[in-house]
Amino acid sequence: MAGSTTTLRVAGYEDGTEGDGSPAEIDANVKIRWVDDLLVNMSEYSTDLLKYLGGPSSFAFNQSKVEWVEDDVWNRRPALGTTPLANGTGTAFNVGTGTAHRYPIGTIFYNPAPNGNASAAEYIRVTAVTDANTLAVTRDIVGGVATEEPWAATDEVLVAGFSMDENDAWVARPNAIFNLPYNYAQVQHVAMDVTYRRMETSLYGLRGTDLDKISADTVAQQFVASEQGATHGSRWSGSTTVPAMYGGLKFYVTSANGAQVTDLSGAAITRKDIDDKLQALYYAVGGDKMAKTILTSAWGQRKITGFFSSAERLPPGATGAGISVQRLMTDFGPVDILLHTALQKDEMYFIRQENNKIGHYGQRGRPHLEEAITQATGIPVLGYMPRREDLQLPQRFSLLHLHPRKKRYGPCGMCTGHCRGENDHQNSNPASSNQSSHPSSSARFPLRLSPWLPTMRAR
């Protein structure tokens, strides 16, 4: 808030004599009597998303490039090619790119309405895996269709079972494909220092030394920066002039990286939009692996709460009113809503908490403080040598993002580790406890946010 010295006015007698303590004189020469400690209230240091992801130390790793193994995603509803099956005697069943290996010889598929024609419902059986995208099949294996219809990419096709003769030769299932996504390690370190004389100076509004204050602020700010990277970071291997950076939600939750992305093109988001996306996730990965948390900004939270504003009821004598929806009870189970300022205002992310985590590099990569002995050289000034108390905050993080099976909205119809932050480090600065015995020492605070590995595989 804005401040003004005129609010500290003191009454006096105006008789034209200088030094009589008149209001005008005091306004020009204010003597501050008391200062409240508002400093801790001025900045937004909350890291709810970082806490949701498990904090910065969910696991440890020892390489600057971090990979993780993702198994192949099998589905009872196969992805379909542009023209899955031609009409008549066509037997080349085109499935999604690189997914034919999921359905070995003997797999039976059922199409309840080929090309929208329910009277032509058909069963087919796989007889060979032709290539990575194509299966050879036998059409209408139960003989119930007069004329086989072409299958369209929009048809709902289901795995209907598996059938082999007892004396058939054993056929090895094609190899499953393992995916090795990766992220890079990101280093965060920052130093803080104050002069020895300033360490001994009593300053208004501080409950400790000046180094304590800037240390606590810096720690909180660095955790916020890590959280912002988890949201908006773009994976970058680094160059001779620019350090490496880990990728966050913005990088992994894209169509190119396997996520389902929906753009409402400026239309207002509705409850149906959210239910449609949850349903799509349910069909894609099943109820137990689907995303169960919606990350959203303030306007998205308001839109969701607005869906239920008509349900608000006030009892007689009520002195308060209003609703805030923190959890949606859906047909697919409860879905929590996490409101956070880190997110872009016109986006929502649907993620699964278990598939996201942050790790630190080795042991020294944990967020921590270090003391470094430094001494400036120069001519004594006012009777003291310009010695300094230094504090360094290095950290090293990486984001582990496991096969992103999440939804991201954008635009959504809006207007157009465990470390708990500052308090964990408030009293951990060696400078405040050692300054008497080591007046020329510095506190180096390497807060190493090790390569952060976000595993974002909302399944």
User: Are the C-beta atoms of residues 447 and 370 closer than 8 Å to each other?
Assistant: no
Three-point CA angle 233, 235, 240, nearest 5°: 110
Higher-pLDDT residue of 432, 67: 67
| Least confident segment among 202-206, 213-217, 378-382, 446-450 | 446-450
Top pLDDT among 431 and 107 is at 107
The CA distance from 408 to 250, in Å, is 9
CA distances from 295 to 28, 283, 454 (A): 51, 21, 15
Q: Alpha helices, DSSP H only, in 253-374?
A: 271-285, 298-306
Using pLDDT thresholds of 50, 70 and 90, give the confidence band for residue 5: very low
Give the model's pLDDT for residue 382.
38
The predicted structure's pLDDT at residue 384: 37
Question: Comparing C-alpha atoms, which of 39, 12, 444 is closest to residue 206?
Answer: 39
Residue pair 241/450 in contact by the 8 Å Cβ criterion: no
Q: 94 pLDDT exceeds 90?
A: yes
| Least confident residue range of 179-183, 389-393, 437-441 | 437-441
**Given a cut of 50, is residue 435 above it in pLDDT?**
no
Give the pLDDT confidence of 11-60 residue by residue, as tens digits.
Answer: 444 445 555 445 555 455 544 455 555 555 557 788 888 888 888 888 88
Task: Please tell me the predicted confidence (pLDDT) of residue 2.
Answer: 42
pTM of the model: 0.69
Whether pLDDT at 388 is above 60? no
Question: b/e map of 148-174 (b: 16 or more CB within 10 Å)?
Answer: bbbbbeebebebbeeeeeeeeeeeeee
Pick the most confident of 119-123, 259-263, 370-374.
119-123
More confident residue, 196 or 309: 309
Write down the domain spans for the chain: 5-33, 48-65+181-308+324-434, 74-177
Instruction: Read off the pLDDT of residues 231-287 as tens digits, 9 standing for 90 and up.
Output: 999 999 999 999 999 998 889 888 887 788 888 888 888 999 999 999 998 988 888
Query: Between residues 375 and 415, which one has the greater pLDDT?
Result: 375
Of the candidate CATH numbers 3.90.1690, 2.60.40, 1.10.3470, 1.10.150, the domain formed by 48-65+181-308+324-434 belongs to 3.90.1690
**What's the whole-number mean pLDDT along residues 64-83?**
87
Residues 331 and 334: their CA atoms lie apart, in Å, by 8
State which amino acid sits at residue 168.
Answer: D
pLDDT greater at residue 369 or residue 449 = 369
Q: State percent of the chain over pLDDT 70.
A: 70
